[in-house]
A = this chain, B = another copy of it.
Amino acid sequence: MAVGVRRQQAAQTEAELKAAAVRAFDRLGYLNTKITDITAEAGRATGSFYTHFASKEALLEALLADLLTKGDESALTEGHSDDFRDRDAVRFHVAAFWTFYRRHRTIMVALQQASTVDTAFARRSQEMLEPDLRHIADHLRGLDLPGDPLLVASIFTTVISQTAATWLAGNGPDLGRELSDDEAIETLTSFIHAGIGGAPDRPGP
């Protein structure tokens, strides 16, 4: 017996459908993308979709699962300082998130879109993010914060993700030039570092 040629081909088709979906989402937006847009993009018959996914939402969840599984980017929380009085620690987090967002822009935007329409999706996304949020909140507690650690942590992540979403989608105001990743990361880092009260040049008592 061949080592599951059929299985392999099916797996490949599934992978091609996923890749085609990402391209379609990128071009049309998740909510505007029809099942036939995906199968057409993959060069397959309509019905083929349902051999692999129960629905467009299921496909998006599969893409999300892939993202979390590969999760080499959960290196987010390793090999660096978590002391946010230290500007470098803040910068590390900002850069990690920015890069992650840039790499997975299409899926991140699709998740946001799915969340606005589907309450269940919104809840699940929120639950997925809550641990990270509490993790950040924990590491904020040493600082001279402007408010409740969880609220500040929420602002912390919101400002990064929304800024990334806005600028990487090309929806920001016209600066008259390109916004480099480095400039965005530096500005966000300074803003947040000062905002959470971590400025190192505060006067002593």
Contact = CB atoms under 8 A, between A and B. Distances in A.
A116 B146 CA distance: 32
Interface of A is mostly: helix
Interface string A140-162: 00000011101111110011001
Contact of A116 (B116, B122, B153, B183): B116
Stoichiometry, copies per complex = 2
A42 interface: no
Interface string A83-97: 000000000000000
Interface in A77-134: 112-113, 116-117, 122, 126, 130, 133-134
Contact of A151 (B31, B112, B175, B196): B175
A166 B155 CA distance: 10
Interface string A172-194: 11010001000110111111101
A173 B113 CA distance: 20
A6 interface: no
Interface stretch (A13-21, A50-58, A197-205): A197-205
Contacts of A188: 155
Given A154-B172, A173-B134, A187 B147 contact: yes
Contacts of A155: 159, 163, 187-188, 191
Given A126-B171, A155-B191, 4 more contacts: A31-B117, A146-B187, A191-B195, A194-B197
Interface of A: 29, 31-32, 112-113, 116-117, 122, 126, 130, 133-134, 146-148, 150-155, 158-159, 162-163, 166, 171-173, 175, 179, 183-184, 186-192, 194-197, 199, 201-203
